[in-house]
Structure 1
Amino acid sequence: MPIDHFHKFLTSAQQEEITLEAAHARLTHFAGRPWLFFPEFSAYVTSFVNAMRNPVAVAPVDASLPLSQYFIKSSHNTYLTGNQFSSKSSIDAYILPLLAGCRSVEIDVLDYKNEPYVYHGYTFTSRIPFKLVLQVIRKYAFVTSDFPLTLSLETHCKAPQQIKMAQYMRDVLGELLVTESLDAEVMDLPSPEQLSRRILIKNKAAAAHDPNSTRPLPDAERHHSAQSSSDGTNSSMPEAKGGPSSSILSKKVKFVSDLAQLNVYHQGSRLPKLPRSSDSPDLGPFQPHFDQIFSLPENKLASYQNDFDRLVRITSTNIIRTFPKYTRVFSGNYNPLSFWAVGSQMVALNYQSFDFHTQMNQALFHPGNRAGYLLKPD
C-alpha cells in the first residue's frame, strides 16, 4: 500500500483529519518506510497506533532485571495462518505478531527434501523453508521493540538438517544471535537491557548421555534428566503437542552440538512432579538451573494448581512457557489470567484468532507501547 492509498484510508475510511505529510510521518514511524505490505497494514489497523483514543502515557519499562521477572508477549505455532490442521504456513504470519510487539515466536522444524522446513508435522498444513523464515524474522525482529526476541524451536529434524539449521541461524541472524553467555560467572538470566536487539534460541536441552552434546549439564539438570528417565520419558524427546501426530513426533531426537550449543539461556526441560507439602513452597531435591525453561500445555500446567506457591517460586528464577492444548484445532485460546497468576512469563497464544483471550493479552501489554515486556508485580 503506497502512501497516497494509506492517506486516503485514514481520511476516507477512518474520517481522520490528517495531512499527507503527517500520514507519511506516521507510516514511516510504524513500518520504517512510507509503504506497507498487506500483513503490515493488518498489523497497523489492530495496533495501538490506530487506537480510537490516544494511548496513555506510561513510564518506560524498567529493563534492568533478569528475564524471569517479566511477562513476555508470546505466540504459538506462529507460522500458521488459520487452523492447526490444514491451514497455510506463511512467512507473512510472522510479520503481524512481530509488529504487534511479540517477543517470542514459535518455529516447528521438520525434514523435507533434505532441508529443514517449517510446518505442523503430520498434518495438512503447507511447508515453508526454515531459512526463509529466519530472513523474515531478521527483517522484522526489532521494528517495534528493541527488547530481546526468543525463537522457540520445536526441532524434529535428523542430524544433517540440524547442522543446516544451526548454520542458517548463524548466517542469517548474524550478530543478532546470542551464541555465548554474556558472563559465565553470573548464575542468573541476563536482563532485557543487556540483551537489547539480540535473538535468543529456545530449544530442547540435549540429553545428559548424548555424545553429541558439548554442554556440561549442571547437577540440577542431571537430576532432572534422571527423573524424566525414571518416568519412562527421555529428556531429548521433543515436547509432544498431542493430536494424531504426537506419538510420531515424540520419537527420540538426538541434538548435534552445532544446534545444542545455541541454547545459551533457554534449555528446554521437563517440569517434574513437585514434592507434596501443605505448608512449604520448598522444591525438595529439584533445584532448577537458571537457564532451564519449562514448556507446558495449558492442561498440564493446570494439573499443578495445588502447587501454586512452588510454581511462583520456580518462576522467580526460571521461565515457564505455556501453550494451547492440542484440541484447539481451530486456533482458539485459553484464559491467560490463571497462568500469569503463577508467574508464567511466556503465555503463548494462537495469534491466528483475535478472540477474547487474545484481546486480554493485548490489554495486558497495552500501556502505550509495544515493547512486548511487562515487569511482573512484586
Structure 2
Amino acid sequence: MRKQSYRVCFCFQRRFRLTAAEAPADVKSIFDKYSENGVMSADHLRLFLVEVQGEENATVEEAQGLVDGFHELKHLHLFYRRGISLETFFKYLLGDVNAPLDPKIGIHHDMTDPLSHYFIYTSHNTYLTGNQLSSDSSDIPIIRALQGGVRVIELDLWPNSAKNNVYVLHGRTFTTPVELIKCLRSIKEYAFTASEYPVVITLEDHLPANLQALVAKMITQTFGDMLFSPGSELLTEFPSPESLKRRIIISTKPPKEYLEAKKVKVKEGKSEKGHSSAEDDAWKKEVGDFKQNNDYDKADDVDGESVENDEEDEEDLKIQQQTAPEYKNLIAIPAGKGKGRLQDWLRVDPNSVRRLSLSELVLEKAIAQYGTDIVSFTQQNLLRVYPKAIRVASSNYNPLSAWMHGAQMVALNMQGYDKSLWFMHGMFRANGGCGYVKKPDFLLNSGSNREAFNPRAILPVKTTLKVTLYMGEGWYYDFSHTHFDNYSPPDFYAKVGIAGVPADTMKKKTKQIEDNWIPTWDELFEFPLTVPELALLRIEVREYDASGKGKLAGQTCLPVWELRKGIRAVPLYSRKGEKYKCVKLLMRFEFV
C-alpha cells in the first residue's frame, strides 16, 4: 500500500501554548502504554489507533504517514526521527486530522434508494435576510444556504402587476421583494458547490396563469438540462439521490390541487378557526391586521399559514381558473393535502407519490392522533414541516419530533441561530455533509407484520455512550470572542447532553473552572441510549456570569451514530454556526 503523508495543523501560540505537562492524566497513561523510552513509533501509533481509537483497519503505512507529517514540523524541536514524543502525541490528539467525525470517509450512505428514504436539509423562506415581517428578500441567504449544504430552497411567488413580472417575498408582510430571475440564477450558480446531490425548489405560487407561463419560461431557460421533469407521467416511486445528481427539482401544488385546496379552505375556514384562533390572535398582536398592496394580498399562503376572508379567496379562485400547462409540466414532485381531514391527508396511494406540507402545530396534532400513520406515509411519500406563522423573529421549532416520525423535509428558518438550528447542523454533518442522510431502517420498514416505529415506546437500551470531557483550549487567541476580557480569564463550564427520542433526551453539566483560559474538567458522563440512530450529542461551553445563564463560548452538535471512538478533538462553533479557528475540546467517546 502506498505510504500516505498527512499534514497536521495546530494553533501554536506564544503564550498559553499547551505543553506535555498539561496533558490529561489519561493521555499520559495511554502514551506510556503505547511507547517505549518516551518515543511512540509508527507500530505503537498503529496499535493505539486500533485499540483506543477503534480504527480497526489502520495500517503501519498510515501511522507512518502521520509520523512523517509531524516531522515536517521538526524545526519546532517537538519531534524524534524514530517516532513521536508525548508533546507531539498531545498535539496530534488536538489536531484537525483527529476530528470526531471521520473526514476521510465522506459520503458513505447508500444513495440509490428513493428520495423518501432520506432526511433532506431543508430551509424555510430561504430568501429572507432576517425576520419574517420586515426584513429584505434577497438571493444572498439562498447562496449562503446552498454553500452550507441546504438541498431544499423555498421561494414564495407573487405578481408584480405593474411590470408584468414575478417577485419573491413573504406575502402580506413588509418584507421587500427580490426578482425571481435573480434567485433562479443564483441557485443555478451555487446549487452544487457543497454537494452534487439534487436541489429541490419548493414554490408557493400566488400567480395568475400568464405569470405561471412566465415562471415556466424563466425556469426552463435558466436551468435547461439540469431540470428533472417526469413529464406527464405520474411517479409511483421517487427517483434516488444518486440518479438525480446535479439536477434541479421543482415541487409545488399542481394548479388543479391548488384550486381544490382553496375551495376546501373557503368552506372550512370558519369551522377550523377554533383550532387556530390562538395562533391567529398572536399573529395579529405581533403584526397587526394590515394589507401591503393589491399585488400581494389576493391569495392564501399555499401551505395554509394564513387565512384571508372569503371574498378574497373567491376572487383569487377566479384569477386561477386558467392555468399554464407548461408550468404544470415542470412539477416533478406534486404537493397537496387532497380532500378530507387530517387522517385522509395521510393515506398512502400505491399508484402515486406526493409531498404533503404541515405546519408544526398541525404536525403536533397529527402525532398525537395518527403518529404511526405519519411514519407509514413517509416511507413512500415526502412530508414537509414548516414553522408556525407567529415565529416573526425567525425562531424555530424542535426538528427532532418530525424526524422521529420520518418527515424528510423539516424546514427551519436559517436566520434563526437557535438551538433548533444547531440540531439541524448536527444532523446534516452526517454522511459527509452532502445534505441527504439515510433514515434508519425502523423508519423505512413496516407493514402488516410489523408495527410502525413509535418514538414514545419504552424500548431496551441498545448502547451506552460514555463521554469524557478532558479540557478545552484556543479561546485566548480566537478574536471572534469579542466579549472576553483578555486580561481576565473566564470562568468556563460546559453542558453535555443528548437530543433524541424522549427516553434518551438528557443534559448534564460540568463543574465551573475559574479564571482559566485552558479549562480542565476531566469529567465522565454516561448516556444510555434506546435509539442511538436518532440521537444527537449536544455540547455547549459557557462563561459564567452573575445572571446564571452564562455567555456562550462555543457549541456543537454531532450525530451519535457517526461518532468515532477514542480521544478526539472536537471543534466548536459560534451561535451562528461559524466554526472557530482554534477553539476545541479534547474529549473521549466510548460505546459499551
CA, structure 1 residues 193+163, in 2 after alignment: closer, same or farther (shift >3 Å)?
Answer: same
Q: Which residue identity is paired with 2:341?
A: K
Whether contact under 8 Å (2:300, 2:306) holds in the other structure is no
**C-alpha separation between the residues in 2 aligned to 1:333 and 1:374?**
21
The DSSP-based 3-state class of the residue aligned with 1:86 is coil
**C-alpha separation between the residues in 2 aligned to 1:52 and 1:96?**
28
**C-alpha separation between the residues in 1 aligned to 2:97 and 2:425?**
12
Instruction: Name the Cα RMSD after superposition.
Output: 3.4
**C-alpha separation between the residues in 2 aligned to 1:90 and 1:145?**
22
Please tell me whether residue 110 in structure 1 is matched to residue 158 in structure 2: yes
Please tell me whether residue 200 in structure 1 is matched to residue 262 in structure 2: no
Name which of 261, 267, 280 aligns with 1:232: 267
Whether contact under 8 Å (2:257, 2:336) holds in the other structure is no
The DSSP-based 3-state class of the residue aligned with 2:236 is coil
Please tell me whether residue 191 in structure 1 is matched to residue 240 in structure 2: yes
**C-alpha separation between the residues in 1 aligned to 2:422 and 2:411?**
13
Whether contact under 8 Å (2:169, 2:176) holds in the other structure is yes
Equivalent in the alignment of 1:307: 370
Name the larger-Rg structure.
Answer: 2
CA, structure 1 residues 52+94, in 2 after alignment: closer, same or farther (shift >3 Å)?
Answer: farther
**C-alpha separation between the residues in 1 aligned to 2:376 and 2:383?**
11
CA, structure 1 residues 189+233, in 2 after alignment: closer, same or farther (shift >3 Å)?
Answer: farther
**C-alpha separation between the residues in 2 aligned to 1:339 and 1:197?**
27
Superposed, which structure 2 residues align to 1:69-108 within 5 Å?
69-108=117-156
Q: Which residue identity is paired with 2:335?
A: G
Equivalent in the alignment of 2:336: 269
Whether contact under 8 Å (1:322, 1:346) holds in the other structure is yes
Larger CA deviation: 86-95 vs 59-68: 59-68
CA, structure 1 residues 246+269, in 2 after alignment: closer, same or farther (shift >3 Å)?
Answer: farther
Q: Which residue identity is paired with 1:56?
A: D
Name which of 330, 333, 341 aligns with 2:396: 333
1:28-53 C-alpha deviation (Å, 9 max, x unpaired): xxxxxxxxxxxxxxxxxxxxxx9994
Instruction: Give 1:244 shift.
Output: 7.6
Instruction: Give 1:270 shift.
Output: 0.9
Larger CA deviation: 328-337 vs 297-306: 297-306
Stretches of structure 1 that go unaligned for 5 or more consecutive residues are 1-9, 16-49, 211-224, 277-282
1:186-217 C-alpha deviation (Å, 9 max, x unpaired): 7211101111110000111221698xxxxxxx
Please tell me whether residue 287 in structure 1 is matched to residue 337 in structure 2: no
Whether contact under 8 Å (1:228, 1:270) holds in the other structure is no
Whether contact under 8 Å (2:132, 2:392) holds in the other structure is yes
Q: Which residue identity is paired with 2:244?
A: L
**C-alpha separation between the residues in 2 aligned to 1:339 and 1:107?**
22
**C-alpha separation between the residues in 2 aligned to 1:372 and 1:334?**
20
Question: Given the two structures, how large is their TM-score scaled by the length of structure 2?
Answer: 0.48
Equivalent in the alignment of 2:588: none
Larger CA deviation: 349-358 vs 267-276: 267-276
How many equivalent residue pairs? 310
Please tell me whether residue 156 in structure 1 is matched to residue 191 in structure 2: no
Instruction: Give 1:62 shift.
Output: 1.1
Equivalent in the alignment of 2:37: none
The alignment-based identity, stated in percent, is: 33
**C-alpha separation between the residues in 1 aligned to 2:361 and 2:214?**
34
The DSSP-based 3-state class of the residue aligned with 1:201 is strand
The DSSP-based 3-state class of the residue aligned with 2:383 is strand
CA, structure 1 residues 308+171, in 2 after alignment: closer, same or farther (shift >3 Å)?
Answer: same
The DSSP-based 3-state class of the residue aligned with 1:109 is strand
Superposed, which structure 2 residues align to 1:1-378 within 5 Å?
53=99, 55-57=101-103, 58=105, 60-112=108-160, 113-180=163-230, 187-207=236-256, 229=264, 232=267, 239-243=302-306, 251-252=316-317, 253-254=320-321, 255-264=323-332, 266-270=333-337, 272-273=340-341, 287=349, 289-305=351-367, 306-367=369-430, 369-378=432-441
Whether contact under 8 Å (2:196, 2:434) holds in the other structure is yes
Q: Which residue identity is paired with 2:136?
A: K
The DSSP-based 3-state class of the residue aligned with 1:258 is helix
Higher strand share: 2
Whether contact under 8 Å (1:202, 1:267) holds in the other structure is yes
CA, structure 1 residues 334+153, in 2 after alignment: closer, same or farther (shift >3 Å)?
Answer: same
**C-alpha separation between the residues in 1 aligned to 2:394 and 2:378?**
27
1:150-176 C-alpha deviation (Å, 9 max, x unpaired): 000011111221111000000011111
Instruction: Give 1:61 shift.
Output: 2.4
CA, structure 1 residues 143+336, in 2 after alignment: closer, same or farther (shift >3 Å)?
Answer: same
**C-alpha separation between the residues in 1 aligned to 2:300 and 2:439?**
31
Instruction: Give 1:227 shift.
Output: 12
CA, structure 1 residues 121+375, in 2 after alignment: closer, same or farther (shift >3 Å)?
Answer: same
Question: Given the two structures, how large is their TM-score scaled by the length of structure 1?
Answer: 0.73
Instruction: Give 1:179 shift.
Output: 2.5
Instruction: Give 1:67 shift.
Output: 0.4
**C-alpha separation between the residues in 2 aligned to 1:298 and 1:238?**
15
Instruction: Give 1:178 shift.
Output: 1.3
Whether contact under 8 Å (1:240, 1:249) holds in the other structure is no
CA, structure 1 residues 131+288, in 2 after alignment: closer, same or farther (shift >3 Å)?
Answer: farther
The DSSP-based 3-state class of the residue aligned with 1:73 is strand
Stretches of structure 2 that go unaligned for 5 or more consecutive residues are 1-10, 17-95, 270-298, 442-592
Whether contact under 8 Å (1:94, 1:136) holds in the other structure is yes
CA, structure 1 residues 335+307, in 2 after alignment: closer, same or farther (shift >3 Å)?
Answer: same
